[in-house]
Chain A
Amino acid sequence: MIARLKGNYGSGIEALTYAGQNYMLVDRSLIPEILQVLRNEEQFDYCVDITAVHYPAREKQFDVVWVLYSHPRNERVRVKTQILDGATLPSSVPIWPGANWLEREVFDMFGIKFEGHPDMKRILLPEGWKGHPLRKDYGILQQDNEWVQINLGIESGQ
Protein backbone atom coordinates (compact mmCIF):
# COMPACT_ATOMS: atom_id res chain seq x y z
CA MET A 1 0.00 0.00 0.00
CA ILE A 2 2.72 2.43 1.05
CA ALA A 3 4.68 1.63 -2.10
CA ARG A 4 1.60 2.29 -4.21
CA LEU A 5 0.91 5.59 -2.49
CA LYS A 6 4.55 6.60 -2.78
CA GLY A 7 4.51 5.77 -6.47
CA ASN A 8 1.58 8.11 -6.98
CA TYR A 9 2.52 10.95 -4.69
CA GLY A 10 6.31 10.76 -4.54
CA SER A 11 8.23 12.52 -1.82
CA GLY A 12 5.15 14.00 -0.12
CA ILE A 13 4.75 10.79 1.87
CA GLU A 14 7.19 9.36 4.34
CA ALA A 15 6.42 5.90 5.72
CA LEU A 16 7.55 5.19 9.27
CA THR A 17 7.25 2.38 11.79
CA TYR A 18 7.57 2.55 15.55
CA ALA A 19 6.96 -0.34 17.97
CA GLY A 20 5.55 -2.37 15.07
CA GLN A 21 2.96 0.28 14.18
CA ASN A 22 2.81 1.92 10.78
CA TYR A 23 2.26 5.58 10.29
CA MET A 24 2.94 8.04 7.54
CA LEU A 25 4.02 11.62 7.52
CA VAL A 26 2.11 13.34 4.75
CA ASP A 27 2.62 16.79 3.32
CA ARG A 28 -0.25 19.16 4.21
CA SER A 29 -1.05 19.78 0.53
CA LEU A 30 -1.66 16.07 -0.07
CA ILE A 31 -3.98 15.54 2.92
CA PRO A 32 -7.40 15.88 1.21
CA GLU A 33 -6.41 13.48 -1.53
CA ILE A 34 -4.64 10.92 0.66
CA LEU A 35 -7.57 10.64 3.10
CA GLN A 36 -9.95 10.20 0.19
CA VAL A 37 -7.72 7.51 -1.37
CA LEU A 38 -7.32 5.69 1.96
CA ARG A 39 -11.08 5.58 2.42
CA ASN A 40 -12.15 4.70 -1.11
CA GLU A 41 -9.31 2.68 -2.58
CA GLU A 42 -7.52 1.24 0.44
CA GLN A 43 -10.74 0.43 2.36
CA PHE A 44 -9.95 2.32 5.57
CA ASP A 45 -13.62 2.63 6.44
CA TYR A 46 -13.38 3.39 10.15
CA CYS A 47 -11.96 6.69 11.41
CA VAL A 48 -10.95 5.74 14.92
CA ASP A 49 -9.57 9.02 16.15
CA ILE A 50 -8.40 12.46 15.14
CA THR A 51 -6.10 14.33 17.45
CA ALA A 52 -3.26 16.81 17.51
CA VAL A 53 0.07 17.40 19.26
CA HIS A 54 1.46 20.85 19.98
CA TYR A 55 5.18 21.62 19.52
CA PRO A 56 5.52 25.34 20.33
CA ALA A 57 9.24 25.43 19.50
CA ARG A 58 8.70 24.27 15.93
CA GLU A 59 7.86 26.50 13.02
CA LYS A 60 4.99 24.23 12.01
CA GLN A 61 3.56 24.06 15.50
CA PHE A 62 1.00 21.28 15.19
CA ASP A 63 0.98 17.62 14.31
CA VAL A 64 -2.49 16.46 13.38
CA VAL A 65 -3.00 12.70 13.54
CA TRP A 66 -5.72 10.53 12.00
CA VAL A 67 -5.96 7.00 13.38
CA LEU A 68 -7.61 4.81 10.77
CA TYR A 69 -8.70 1.21 10.74
CA SER A 70 -9.85 -0.98 7.90
CA HIS A 71 -12.53 -3.56 8.69
CA PRO A 72 -11.98 -5.60 5.50
CA ARG A 73 -8.18 -5.70 5.94
CA ASN A 74 -7.99 -5.74 9.76
CA GLU A 75 -5.23 -3.19 9.56
CA ARG A 76 -4.43 0.09 11.24
CA VAL A 77 -2.59 3.09 9.93
CA ARG A 78 -1.91 6.56 11.23
CA VAL A 79 -1.68 9.62 9.02
CA LYS A 80 0.22 12.56 10.37
CA THR A 81 0.73 16.03 9.00
CA GLN A 82 2.36 19.22 10.23
CA ILE A 83 0.63 22.57 10.04
CA LEU A 84 1.32 26.15 11.07
CA ASP A 85 -0.48 27.82 13.96
CA GLY A 86 -3.63 29.35 12.51
CA ALA A 87 -3.65 27.14 9.42
CA THR A 88 -6.75 25.14 8.59
CA LEU A 89 -7.36 21.61 7.39
CA PRO A 90 -10.08 20.17 5.19
CA SER A 91 -12.84 18.49 7.17
CA SER A 92 -13.13 14.74 6.70
CA VAL A 93 -16.80 14.62 7.71
CA PRO A 94 -17.80 13.95 4.06
CA ILE A 95 -15.44 10.95 4.10
CA TRP A 96 -16.20 9.62 7.60
CA PRO A 97 -19.32 11.13 9.26
CA GLY A 98 -17.87 10.03 12.60
CA ALA A 99 -15.11 12.63 12.24
CA ASN A 100 -17.64 15.30 13.21
CA TRP A 101 -17.17 15.31 16.99
CA LEU A 102 -13.50 14.37 16.76
CA GLU A 103 -12.73 17.46 14.67
CA ARG A 104 -14.76 19.61 17.03
CA GLU A 105 -12.69 18.32 19.91
CA VAL A 106 -9.44 19.13 18.10
CA PHE A 107 -10.77 22.64 17.51
CA ASP A 108 -11.85 22.96 21.13
CA MET A 109 -8.56 21.78 22.57
CA PHE A 110 -6.06 23.18 20.05
CA GLY A 111 -7.85 25.85 18.04
CA ILE A 112 -7.29 24.12 14.71
CA LYS A 113 -10.17 24.79 12.33
CA PHE A 114 -11.50 22.30 9.82
CA GLU A 115 -12.87 23.82 6.64
CA GLY A 116 -16.18 22.50 5.39
CA HIS A 117 -17.15 21.10 8.80
CA PRO A 118 -20.94 21.33 9.22
CA ASP A 119 -20.82 22.76 12.74
CA MET A 120 -17.36 23.97 13.75
CA LYS A 121 -17.81 24.91 17.41
CA ARG A 122 -16.53 23.88 20.81
CA ILE A 123 -17.66 20.53 22.15
CA LEU A 124 -16.39 19.96 25.70
CA LEU A 125 -15.74 23.50 26.91
CA PRO A 126 -18.53 26.08 27.07
CA GLU A 127 -19.08 28.24 24.04
CA GLY A 128 -17.70 31.60 25.22
CA TRP A 129 -14.50 30.14 26.74
CA LYS A 130 -11.20 31.76 25.79
CA GLY A 131 -8.14 29.67 25.08
CA HIS A 132 -7.42 26.13 23.95
CA PRO A 133 -6.30 24.02 26.92
CA LEU A 134 -4.21 21.33 25.28
CA ARG A 135 -1.78 23.83 23.78
CA LYS A 136 1.51 23.69 25.61
CA ASP A 137 1.37 27.40 26.44
CA TYR A 138 -1.88 26.92 28.37
CA GLY A 139 -1.00 26.30 32.03
CA ILE A 140 -2.47 23.40 33.95
CA LEU A 141 -4.11 25.73 36.50
CA GLN A 142 -5.06 28.34 33.92
CA GLN A 143 -8.72 29.11 33.33
CA ASP A 144 -10.89 31.74 31.73
CA ASN A 145 -11.45 33.82 34.89
CA GLU A 146 -13.77 36.21 33.15
CA TRP A 147 -16.03 33.39 32.02
CA VAL A 148 -16.04 31.81 35.46
CA GLN A 149 -16.90 35.10 37.18
CA ILE A 150 -19.70 36.00 34.79
CA ASN A 151 -21.28 32.58 34.40
CA LEU A 152 -20.67 30.91 37.74
CA GLY A 153 -20.68 34.01 39.94
CA ILE A 154 -17.57 32.94 41.82
CA GLU A 155 -14.14 34.54 42.00
CA SER A 156 -12.24 31.50 40.72
CA GLY A 157 -12.81 27.85 40.02
CA GLN A 158 -9.60 26.82 41.79
Chain B
Amino acid sequence: MTDPNTTLSPLELGSHDKTYLDANELVINMGPQHPATHGVLRVILRLDGEKVLGLECVIGYLHRGVEKIGEHRTYTMFNPYVDRMDYVAAVSNGLGYCETVEKLLNVEAPPRAQHVRVILTELNRIASHQLWLGTHALDIGAITPLFYTFRDREEILKIYEKYCGARLTTHAFRIGGLQYETYTGFEKEVTNFLTFFRPKIDEYEELLTTNRIWVERTKNVGKISAQDCIALGVSGPVLRASGVKWDLRKAQPYANYKNFDFEIPIGQNGDTYDRYLVRMAEMRQSVRIIQQAVDALPEGPIMAKVPKVMKPAAGEVYHSIEAPKGELGYFIVSDGSTQPYRLRVRPPSFANLQALDAMCRGQLVADVIAVIGTLDIVLGEVDR
Protein backbone atom coordinates (compact mmCIF):
# COMPACT_ATOMS: atom_id res chain seq x y z
CA MET B 1 0.00 0.00 0.00
CA THR B 2 1.36 3.40 -0.84
CA ASP B 3 1.46 6.16 1.66
CA PRO B 4 -0.68 9.02 0.39
CA ASN B 5 1.59 11.55 2.05
CA THR B 6 4.72 10.60 0.16
CA THR B 7 3.42 9.66 -3.27
CA LEU B 8 1.74 11.99 -5.70
CA SER B 9 -1.47 10.56 -6.97
CA PRO B 10 -1.90 10.53 -10.76
CA LEU B 11 -4.72 13.04 -10.31
CA GLU B 12 -2.41 15.53 -8.69
CA LEU B 13 0.23 15.16 -11.35
CA GLY B 14 -2.28 15.97 -14.00
CA SER B 15 -3.85 18.77 -12.01
CA HIS B 16 -4.19 22.01 -13.89
CA ASP B 17 -3.65 24.11 -10.80
CA LYS B 18 0.10 23.58 -10.84
CA THR B 19 2.69 25.25 -12.99
CA TYR B 20 5.33 22.86 -14.25
CA LEU B 21 8.71 23.24 -15.98
CA ASP B 22 9.22 26.53 -14.14
CA ALA B 23 6.82 28.21 -16.50
CA ASN B 24 5.74 31.49 -15.00
CA GLU B 25 2.53 33.29 -15.56
CA LEU B 26 2.48 35.07 -18.84
CA VAL B 27 0.62 38.29 -19.45
CA ILE B 28 -0.21 38.91 -23.07
CA ASN B 29 -2.16 41.53 -24.86
CA MET B 30 -4.90 40.91 -27.41
CA GLY B 31 -6.24 43.77 -29.45
CA PRO B 32 -7.38 46.51 -29.73
CA GLN B 33 -6.72 45.91 -33.42
CA HIS B 34 -7.62 42.25 -33.67
CA PRO B 35 -10.06 40.76 -36.16
CA ALA B 36 -11.70 38.50 -33.60
CA THR B 37 -12.57 41.20 -31.10
CA HIS B 38 -15.36 42.51 -33.33
CA GLY B 39 -14.26 46.10 -33.16
CA VAL B 40 -11.70 47.74 -30.97
CA LEU B 41 -11.57 45.77 -27.76
CA ARG B 42 -8.36 45.20 -25.88
CA VAL B 43 -8.10 42.16 -23.63
CA ILE B 44 -5.18 41.61 -21.28
CA LEU B 45 -4.83 37.89 -20.68
CA ARG B 46 -3.05 36.27 -17.77
CA LEU B 47 -1.99 32.83 -18.89
CA ASP B 48 -0.44 29.69 -17.55
CA GLY B 49 0.68 28.03 -20.75
CA GLU B 50 -2.48 27.82 -22.81
CA LYS B 51 -4.78 28.17 -19.81
CA VAL B 52 -6.45 31.46 -19.00
CA LEU B 53 -6.06 32.44 -15.34
CA GLY B 54 -7.91 35.70 -15.70
CA LEU B 55 -8.37 38.61 -18.03
CA GLU B 56 -9.13 42.28 -18.05
CA CYS B 57 -11.01 44.18 -20.73
CA VAL B 58 -9.86 47.63 -21.73
CA ILE B 59 -12.67 49.49 -23.44
CA GLY B 60 -13.42 53.02 -24.55
CA TYR B 61 -11.66 53.12 -27.93
CA LEU B 62 -14.96 53.95 -29.64
CA HIS B 63 -16.20 56.41 -27.03
CA ARG B 64 -17.90 59.31 -28.75
CA GLY B 65 -19.75 60.85 -25.83
CA VAL B 66 -23.22 59.90 -27.05
CA GLU B 67 -24.80 60.77 -23.69
CA LYS B 68 -23.20 64.21 -23.65
CA ILE B 69 -24.34 64.85 -27.23
CA GLY B 70 -27.87 63.86 -26.18
CA GLU B 71 -27.89 66.59 -23.54
CA HIS B 72 -27.03 69.19 -26.18
CA ARG B 73 -29.59 68.23 -28.83
CA THR B 74 -33.36 68.42 -28.91
CA TYR B 75 -35.28 65.18 -28.52
CA THR B 76 -35.90 64.98 -32.27
CA MET B 77 -32.34 65.85 -33.24
CA PHE B 78 -30.89 63.12 -31.06
CA ASN B 79 -32.97 60.37 -32.66
CA PRO B 80 -30.50 59.48 -35.48
CA TYR B 81 -27.60 59.33 -33.03
CA VAL B 82 -28.92 56.23 -31.27
CA ASP B 83 -28.50 54.25 -34.51
CA ARG B 84 -24.75 54.68 -34.16
CA MET B 85 -24.52 52.77 -30.89
CA ASP B 86 -25.39 49.21 -31.83
CA TYR B 87 -24.92 49.81 -35.54
CA VAL B 88 -25.98 46.31 -36.55
CA ALA B 89 -29.32 46.70 -34.75
CA ALA B 90 -30.05 50.36 -35.39
CA VAL B 91 -33.80 49.83 -35.61
CA SER B 92 -33.97 48.35 -32.10
CA ASN B 93 -32.04 51.30 -30.67
CA GLY B 94 -34.49 53.67 -32.31
CA LEU B 95 -37.49 51.79 -30.94
CA GLY B 96 -36.16 52.02 -27.40
CA TYR B 97 -35.40 55.71 -27.67
CA CYS B 98 -38.71 56.68 -29.32
CA GLU B 99 -40.73 54.72 -26.77
CA THR B 100 -38.88 56.33 -23.87
CA VAL B 101 -39.56 59.84 -25.13
CA GLU B 102 -43.16 58.85 -25.86
CA LYS B 103 -43.46 57.79 -22.22
CA LEU B 104 -42.15 61.19 -21.13
CA LEU B 105 -44.59 62.95 -23.47
CA ASN B 106 -47.39 60.59 -22.47
CA VAL B 107 -48.31 59.70 -26.05
CA GLU B 108 -48.66 56.34 -27.71
CA ALA B 109 -47.96 55.42 -31.31
CA PRO B 110 -51.08 54.36 -33.28
CA PRO B 111 -51.68 50.61 -33.87
CA ARG B 112 -50.50 50.61 -37.49
CA ALA B 113 -47.24 52.27 -36.51
CA GLN B 114 -46.81 49.76 -33.69
CA HIS B 115 -47.22 46.86 -36.10
CA VAL B 116 -44.74 48.24 -38.60
CA ARG B 117 -42.32 48.87 -35.74
CA VAL B 118 -42.58 45.25 -34.63
CA ILE B 119 -42.01 43.99 -38.18
CA LEU B 120 -38.93 46.13 -38.72
CA THR B 121 -37.52 45.46 -35.26
CA GLU B 122 -37.89 41.70 -35.59
CA LEU B 123 -36.33 41.81 -39.05
CA ASN B 124 -33.48 43.64 -37.36
CA ARG B 125 -33.19 40.92 -34.74
CA ILE B 126 -32.79 38.38 -37.55
CA ALA B 127 -30.22 40.59 -39.31
CA SER B 128 -28.27 41.05 -36.08
CA HIS B 129 -28.28 37.32 -35.33
CA GLN B 130 -27.19 36.58 -38.89
CA LEU B 131 -24.24 38.91 -38.58
CA TRP B 132 -23.39 37.33 -35.23
CA LEU B 133 -23.58 33.80 -36.66
CA GLY B 134 -21.45 34.59 -39.68
CA THR B 135 -18.65 36.30 -37.75
CA HIS B 136 -18.76 33.93 -34.77
CA ALA B 137 -18.45 30.89 -37.03
CA LEU B 138 -15.67 32.62 -38.98
CA ASP B 139 -13.73 33.21 -35.75
CA ILE B 140 -13.95 29.52 -34.91
CA GLY B 141 -12.84 28.51 -38.36
CA ALA B 142 -15.99 27.91 -40.41
CA ILE B 143 -15.96 30.26 -43.38
CA THR B 144 -19.07 29.17 -45.26
CA PRO B 145 -21.74 30.42 -42.78
CA LEU B 146 -20.49 33.98 -43.29
CA PHE B 147 -21.33 33.87 -47.00
CA TYR B 148 -24.72 32.29 -46.35
CA THR B 149 -25.76 34.74 -43.65
CA PHE B 150 -24.55 37.84 -45.48
CA ARG B 151 -26.33 36.70 -48.63
CA ASP B 152 -29.62 36.42 -46.72
CA ARG B 153 -29.10 39.50 -44.58
CA GLU B 154 -28.92 41.49 -47.79
CA GLU B 155 -32.63 40.79 -48.36
CA ILE B 156 -33.52 42.43 -45.05
CA LEU B 157 -31.33 45.43 -45.82
CA LYS B 158 -33.09 45.77 -49.17
CA ILE B 159 -36.43 46.00 -47.36
CA TYR B 160 -35.00 48.73 -45.12
CA GLU B 161 -33.57 50.58 -48.07
CA LYS B 162 -36.90 50.54 -49.84
CA TYR B 163 -38.73 51.61 -46.69
CA CYS B 164 -36.57 54.49 -45.51
CA GLY B 165 -33.65 54.84 -47.91
CA ALA B 166 -30.97 53.59 -45.54
CA ARG B 167 -29.60 50.14 -44.97
CA LEU B 168 -27.77 50.25 -41.66
CA THR B 169 -28.28 53.44 -39.71
CA THR B 170 -31.90 53.58 -40.68
CA HIS B 171 -33.51 56.21 -38.45
CA ALA B 172 -36.68 54.27 -39.20
CA PHE B 173 -38.90 55.52 -36.37
CA ARG B 174 -39.99 58.92 -35.17
CA ILE B 175 -41.14 59.98 -31.74
CA GLY B 176 -44.89 59.33 -31.87
CA GLY B 177 -44.89 56.80 -34.69
CA LEU B 178 -43.42 56.67 -38.17
CA GLN B 179 -42.53 59.30 -40.71
CA TYR B 180 -43.05 57.12 -43.78
CA GLU B 181 -46.03 55.03 -44.77
CA THR B 182 -44.98 51.57 -45.95
CA TYR B 183 -44.22 51.34 -49.66
CA THR B 184 -46.51 49.54 -52.10
CA GLY B 185 -45.96 45.82 -51.87
CA PHE B 186 -44.30 46.01 -48.44
CA GLU B 187 -46.43 43.22 -46.95
CA LYS B 188 -45.81 41.03 -49.98
CA GLU B 189 -42.07 41.55 -49.88
CA VAL B 190 -41.85 40.82 -46.17
CA THR B 191 -43.91 37.65 -46.60
CA ASN B 192 -41.73 36.62 -49.52
CA PHE B 193 -38.68 37.14 -47.37
CA LEU B 194 -40.13 34.93 -44.64
CA THR B 195 -40.87 32.15 -47.12
CA PHE B 196 -37.36 32.52 -48.50
CA PHE B 197 -35.75 32.64 -45.07
CA ARG B 198 -37.40 29.71 -43.25
CA PRO B 199 -35.44 27.00 -45.10
CA LYS B 200 -32.29 29.13 -44.81
CA ILE B 201 -32.25 28.65 -41.02
CA ASP B 202 -32.23 24.89 -41.62
CA GLU B 203 -29.40 25.44 -44.04
CA TYR B 204 -27.32 27.24 -41.39
CA GLU B 205 -28.11 24.53 -38.88
CA GLU B 206 -27.13 21.82 -41.33
CA LEU B 207 -23.68 23.38 -41.55
CA LEU B 208 -23.12 23.64 -37.83
CA THR B 209 -25.50 21.97 -35.38
CA THR B 210 -24.10 18.45 -35.75
CA ASN B 211 -20.75 19.44 -37.22
CA ARG B 212 -18.17 17.72 -35.07
CA ILE B 213 -15.62 20.53 -35.17
CA TRP B 214 -18.27 23.09 -34.28
CA VAL B 215 -19.63 21.00 -31.42
CA GLU B 216 -16.17 20.37 -29.97
CA ARG B 217 -15.21 24.00 -30.19
CA THR B 218 -18.41 25.22 -28.52
CA LYS B 219 -19.74 22.55 -26.13
CA ASN B 220 -18.73 23.23 -22.51
CA VAL B 221 -16.85 26.33 -23.61
CA GLY B 222 -17.47 29.58 -21.74
CA LYS B 223 -19.97 28.06 -19.35
CA ILE B 224 -21.83 30.39 -17.03
CA SER B 225 -24.55 29.56 -14.54
CA ALA B 226 -27.90 31.31 -14.26
CA GLN B 227 -27.01 32.74 -10.84
CA ASP B 228 -23.75 34.19 -12.12
CA CYS B 229 -25.53 35.68 -15.12
CA ILE B 230 -28.07 37.46 -12.94
CA ALA B 231 -25.44 38.63 -10.45
CA LEU B 232 -23.32 40.07 -13.27
CA GLY B 233 -26.30 41.79 -14.87
CA VAL B 234 -26.20 39.69 -18.03
CA SER B 235 -29.33 39.75 -20.20
CA GLY B 236 -30.56 38.60 -23.58
CA PRO B 237 -29.71 35.31 -25.30
CA VAL B 238 -26.68 34.78 -23.01
CA LEU B 239 -28.94 34.76 -19.95
CA ARG B 240 -31.55 32.59 -21.65
CA ALA B 241 -28.95 30.01 -22.72
CA SER B 242 -28.22 29.52 -19.02
CA GLY B 243 -31.81 28.50 -18.47
CA VAL B 244 -33.52 31.71 -17.36
CA LYS B 245 -36.77 32.20 -19.23
CA TRP B 246 -36.64 35.96 -19.26
CA ASP B 247 -37.40 38.13 -22.23
CA LEU B 248 -38.65 41.70 -21.84
CA ARG B 249 -41.06 41.18 -24.73
CA LYS B 250 -42.93 38.78 -22.43
CA ALA B 251 -41.93 39.93 -18.93
CA GLN B 252 -42.80 43.60 -19.42
CA PRO B 253 -44.34 43.83 -22.89
CA TYR B 254 -43.67 47.03 -24.82
CA ALA B 255 -44.80 48.12 -28.31
CA ASN B 256 -47.61 45.63 -29.00
CA TYR B 257 -45.76 42.39 -28.40
CA LYS B 258 -48.54 41.14 -26.13
CA ASN B 259 -50.70 40.62 -29.23
CA PHE B 260 -48.35 38.08 -30.74
CA ASP B 261 -47.89 34.44 -30.03
CA PHE B 262 -44.29 33.30 -29.62
CA GLU B 263 -42.05 31.22 -27.42
CA ILE B 264 -38.94 32.14 -25.46
CA PRO B 265 -36.25 29.61 -26.36
CA ILE B 266 -33.92 28.68 -23.51
CA GLY B 267 -30.86 26.50 -23.07
CA GLN B 268 -29.69 24.36 -20.16
CA ASN B 269 -25.93 24.35 -19.99
CA GLY B 270 -25.09 28.00 -20.49
CA ASP B 271 -22.24 27.12 -22.83
CA THR B 272 -21.34 28.50 -26.24
CA TYR B 273 -23.21 25.73 -28.01
CA ASP B 274 -26.44 26.48 -26.12
CA ARG B 275 -26.14 30.17 -26.88
CA TYR B 276 -25.84 29.22 -30.53
CA LEU B 277 -28.99 27.07 -30.32
CA VAL B 278 -30.93 29.79 -28.49
CA ARG B 279 -30.15 32.40 -31.14
CA MET B 280 -31.07 30.00 -33.94
CA ALA B 281 -34.41 29.32 -32.23
CA GLU B 282 -34.91 33.06 -31.72
CA MET B 283 -34.63 33.65 -35.45
CA ARG B 284 -37.43 31.14 -35.98
CA GLN B 285 -39.56 32.90 -33.35
CA SER B 286 -38.91 36.27 -34.99
CA VAL B 287 -40.18 34.82 -38.27
CA ARG B 288 -43.35 33.77 -36.44
CA ILE B 289 -43.87 37.23 -34.97
CA ILE B 290 -43.29 39.00 -38.29
CA GLN B 291 -45.74 36.67 -40.05
CA GLN B 292 -48.45 37.45 -37.50
CA ALA B 293 -47.76 41.17 -37.66
CA VAL B 294 -47.90 41.26 -41.46
CA ASP B 295 -51.10 39.22 -41.58
CA ALA B 296 -52.85 41.51 -39.10
CA LEU B 297 -51.42 44.84 -40.25
CA PRO B 298 -54.20 47.32 -39.46
CA GLU B 299 -55.08 50.41 -41.49
CA GLY B 300 -54.99 53.83 -39.93
CA PRO B 301 -52.75 56.74 -39.06
CA ILE B 302 -49.04 56.20 -38.51
CA MET B 303 -48.31 59.22 -36.37
CA ALA B 304 -49.72 60.21 -33.00
CA LYS B 305 -50.35 63.84 -32.15
CA VAL B 306 -47.01 65.16 -30.96
CA PRO B 307 -46.02 68.80 -30.76
CA LYS B 308 -43.51 70.10 -33.31
CA VAL B 309 -41.40 71.45 -30.47
CA MET B 310 -41.22 68.72 -27.86
CA LYS B 311 -41.09 69.91 -24.28
CA PRO B 312 -41.88 66.97 -22.00
CA ALA B 313 -42.96 67.94 -18.48
CA ALA B 314 -40.21 67.76 -15.88
CA GLY B 315 -39.76 64.19 -14.73
CA GLU B 316 -37.71 61.07 -15.29
CA VAL B 317 -38.35 57.80 -17.03
CA TYR B 318 -36.45 54.53 -17.42
CA HIS B 319 -37.63 52.35 -20.25
CA SER B 320 -36.00 49.28 -21.71
CA ILE B 321 -36.57 46.91 -24.58
CA GLU B 322 -35.31 43.49 -25.55
CA ALA B 323 -32.69 44.37 -28.15
CA PRO B 324 -31.07 41.46 -30.05
CA LYS B 325 -28.24 41.52 -27.49
CA GLY B 326 -30.25 41.94 -24.30
CA GLU B 327 -31.80 44.67 -22.21
CA LEU B 328 -31.32 48.06 -23.83
CA GLY B 329 -32.45 50.79 -21.44
CA TYR B 330 -32.80 54.53 -21.68
CA PHE B 331 -33.00 56.75 -18.63
CA ILE B 332 -34.05 60.28 -19.49
CA VAL B 333 -34.43 63.17 -17.06
CA SER B 334 -36.43 66.06 -18.44
CA ASP B 335 -36.38 69.55 -16.96
CA GLY B 336 -39.25 70.75 -19.13
CA SER B 337 -37.03 72.19 -21.86
CA THR B 338 -36.56 71.06 -25.45
CA GLN B 339 -33.41 69.08 -24.61
CA PRO B 340 -33.01 66.17 -22.21
CA TYR B 341 -31.39 67.27 -18.96
CA ARG B 342 -29.74 63.89 -18.65
CA LEU B 343 -29.81 61.05 -21.12
CA ARG B 344 -28.37 57.75 -20.04
CA VAL B 345 -28.11 54.66 -22.21
CA ARG B 346 -27.82 51.26 -20.59
CA PRO B 347 -26.39 49.09 -23.36
CA PRO B 348 -26.72 45.30 -23.15
CA SER B 349 -23.25 44.63 -24.58
CA PHE B 350 -21.59 46.64 -21.80
CA ALA B 351 -23.06 44.44 -19.07
CA ASN B 352 -22.57 41.23 -21.03
CA LEU B 353 -18.92 41.97 -21.76
CA GLN B 354 -18.31 42.22 -18.03
CA ALA B 355 -19.00 38.47 -17.80
CA LEU B 356 -16.10 37.66 -20.16
CA ASP B 357 -13.64 37.20 -17.30
CA ALA B 358 -15.89 34.77 -15.44
CA MET B 359 -16.60 32.83 -18.63
CA CYS B 360 -12.98 32.49 -19.75
CA ARG B 361 -11.27 31.46 -16.51
CA GLY B 362 -9.84 27.98 -16.79
CA GLN B 363 -10.41 27.86 -20.55
CA LEU B 364 -7.83 27.84 -23.31
CA VAL B 365 -6.65 30.91 -25.22
CA ALA B 366 -8.43 29.77 -28.36
CA ASP B 367 -11.67 29.63 -26.39
CA VAL B 368 -11.43 33.32 -25.55
CA ILE B 369 -12.11 34.00 -29.23
CA ALA B 370 -15.12 31.70 -29.14
CA VAL B 371 -16.46 33.37 -25.99
CA ILE B 372 -16.04 36.92 -27.32
CA GLY B 373 -17.97 35.79 -30.38
CA THR B 374 -20.73 34.10 -28.42
CA LEU B 375 -21.30 37.20 -26.25
CA ASP B 376 -22.29 39.05 -29.43
CA ILE B 377 -20.90 42.40 -28.41
CA VAL B 378 -20.83 45.52 -30.53
CA LEU B 379 -18.16 47.91 -29.33
CA GLY B 380 -20.02 50.94 -30.64
CA GLU B 381 -22.58 50.19 -27.97
CA VAL B 382 -20.14 49.24 -25.22
CA ASP B 383 -18.25 52.53 -25.55
CA ARG B 384 -21.00 54.82 -26.80
Chain A interface (Cβ within 8 Å of chain B)?
A: 18-19, 21, 23, 45-49, 51, 53-54, 65, 67, 71, 74, 76, 78, 96-102, 109, 122-126, 133-134, 138, 140
Q: Convert B225-261 into 0s and 1s, putting 1 for each residue whose CB lies closer than 8 angstroms to a CB of A.
A: 0000011111000000000101000011000000000
The distance in angstroms between the C-alpha atoms of A146 and B206, with both chains bound, is 56
Q: Which residue of A lies closest to B317 (CB)?
A: A19
Contact B60 A123 (CB under 8 A): yes
Chain B interface (Cβ within 8 Å of chain A)?
A: 59-60, 63, 65, 67-69, 72, 103-104, 106, 230-234, 244, 246, 251-252, 315-318, 320, 327, 329, 331, 333, 341-342, 344, 346, 350-351, 354, 383-384
Contact B350 A101 (CB under 8 A): yes
Contact B232 A53 (CB under 8 A): no
The distance in angstroms between the C-alpha atoms of A74 and B248, with both chains bound, is 10
Contacts A21-B317, A51-B344 given; does A45 touch B246 at CB 8 Å: no
Q: Chain A residues with Cβ under 8 A from B316's Cβ?
A: 18, 23
Contact A21 B354 (CB under 8 A): no
A145 → B minimal CB distance (Å): 16
Q: Which residue of A lies closest to B351 (CB)?
A: A98
Contact B233 A98 (CB under 8 A): yes
Q: Chain A residues with Cβ under 8 A from B104's Cβ?
A: 19
Contact A45 B230 (CB under 8 A): yes
A-B pairs with beta carbons under 8 Å apart, 9 shown: A21-B317, A48-B233, A48-B327, A49-B344, A54-B342, A97-B232, A124-B63, A134-B67, A138-B68
The distance in angstroms between the C-alpha atoms of A123 and B164, with both chains bound, is 36
Contact A133 B68 (CB under 8 A): yes
Contact B354 A101 (CB under 8 A): yes
Q: Chain B residues with Cβ under 8 A from A102's Cβ?
A: 233
A-B contact count (CB 8 A): 84
Interface centre among B67, B231, B317, B383 (most CB of A within 10 A): B231
B71 → A minimal CB distance (Å): 8
Q: Which 8 A-B pairs have the closest CB atoms?
A: A98-B233, A124-B60, A49-B346, A98-B232, A53-B342, A18-B315, A124-B63, A51-B344
Q: Which residue of B lies closest to A67 (CB)?
A: B318
Q: Chain B residues with Cβ under 8 A from A124's Cβ?
A: 59-60, 63, 383-384
By DSSP majority rule, is chain A's interface helix, strand, loop, or mixed? mixed
Q: Which residue of A lies closest to B318 (CB)?
A: A67
A83 → B minimal CB distance (Å): 16
A110 → B minimal CB distance (Å): 11
Q: Which residue of A lies closest to B56 (CB)?
A: A119
The distance in angstroms between the C-alpha atoms of A97 and B59, with both chains bound, is 18
Contacts A18-B317, A67-B331, A74-B252 given; does A126 touch B60 at CB 8 Å: yes
Q: Chain A residues with Cβ under 8 A from B234's Cβ?
A: 98
Contact B346 A48 (CB under 8 A): yes
Apart from A98-B351, A101-B354, A134-B68, 10 more pairs, CB < 8 Å: A19-B103, A19-B104, A48-B233, A49-B318, A49-B329, A54-B342, A67-B331, A76-B252, A78-B318, A138-B68
Contact A21 B318 (CB under 8 A): yes
Q: Which residue of B lies closest to A136 (CB)?
A: B71
Interface centre among B252, B316, B317 (most CB of A within 10 A): B316
The distance in angstroms between the C-alpha atoms of A46 and B67, with both chains bound, is 23
Contacts A21-B318, A67-B329, A98-B351 given; does A125 touch B346 at CB 8 Å: no
Contact A125 B315 (CB under 8 A): no
Q: Chain B residues with Cβ under 8 A from A96's Cβ?
A: 231, 233
Q: Chain A residues with Cβ under 8 A from B63's Cβ?
A: 124-125
Q: Chain A residues with Cβ under 8 A from B252's Cβ?
A: 74, 76
Q: Chain B residues with Cβ under 8 A from A134's Cβ?
A: 67-68
Q: Chain B residues with Cβ under 8 A from A53's Cβ?
A: 333, 341-342
A65 → B minimal CB distance (Å): 7
Q: Could you say which of B65, B230, B344, B351 contacts A133, with CB atoms under 8 Å apart?
A: B65
Contacts A98-B354, A124-B63 given; does A47 touch B233 at CB 8 Å: yes
Contact B318 A76 (CB under 8 A): yes
Q: Which residue of B lies closest to A53 (CB)?
A: B342
B105 → A minimal CB distance (Å): 10
